Structure 1
Amino acid sequence: MKKNMIIVLFTLIIESGLTFLLASLLSIRFIEIMFFAGVAFSAVTIWFSSSGGTITKFIDSETSARTGLKTERKEFKLQPNYVVFASILFLIIGLIFFILLLTNVIPPA
């Protein structure tokens, strides 16, 4: 349990740091870009945590064509882990801040 929390915390720190760096480079506030960064982080972590997607089908087809051996096709399967959960948590927190920005609860300037 403790190791899992460390993984989640470490992932959130890395995602926050990368988002802060991007916000600094673009000269915008951290919370204005947090939701969009969360979408990107979630998409990337889900992409690399899943199996049997489009890339896998392409590689299997290419291997079958080159070797003449038929390979078993895998269906898309999401394999969530603690990095995916942390990225989705970052996305949800960013969504909350984004909604607060749009409703002017957090002032725009």
Structure 2
Amino acid sequence: MKKNIIIFLITLIIESGLTFLIASLLSIRFIEIMFFAGAAFSAFTIWFSSSGGAMTKFIDSQTSARTGLITEREDFKLQPNYAVFASILFLIIGLIFFILLLTKVIPPA
């Protein structure tokens, strides 16, 4: 249990740090880019923590074409873990800030 919380917190710290680095390199505010970074991080963590899917089918098809052996196709299966949950939380917080920026509750610049 403690290990899962540590993974969750480390994921949030890494995502926040990378987002801060990108925001400072592009000279924009952290909360302006947080939603888009959260979407990218969520897609990245879901991509690498799932099994099956389009890439697996493509590799299986290429292997079957080269060897002549037909392999059983594996369907996409999401295997959520604490890194995925942290990325989705980062995305949701970023979405809230993005909506507040668009509605001008948080003033621009």
Q: TM-score range by the shorter chain?
A: over 0.9
AA in 2 matched with 1:78:
L
In the other structure, the counterpart of 1:96 is 96
Root mean square deviation of aligned Cα: 0.8
* Alpha-carbon separation, structure 2, partners of 1:10 and 1:49: 16
- Structure 2, unmatched stretches of 5+, are none
Pair 1:36 & 2:33 matched: no
- Structure 1, unmatched stretches of 5+, are none
Q: Describe the superposition over 1:83-107 as per-residue Cα deviations: whole angstroms up to 9, x where unpaired.
A: 1000000000101111111111111
Matches within 5 A, 1:10-21: 10-21=10-21
* Alpha-carbon separation, structure 2, partners of 1:61 and 1:107: 52
CA-CA distance at 1:81 after TM superposition: 0.8
Q: Please give the TM-score of this superposition, normalised by the length of structure 2.
A: 0.96
CA-CA distance at 1:22 after TM superposition: 0.3
CA-CA distance at 1:70 after TM superposition: 1.1
In the other structure, the counterpart of 1:72 is 72
Task: Indicate the percent of aligned positions where both proteins have the same amino acid.
Answer: 87
In the other structure, the counterpart of 1:62 is 62
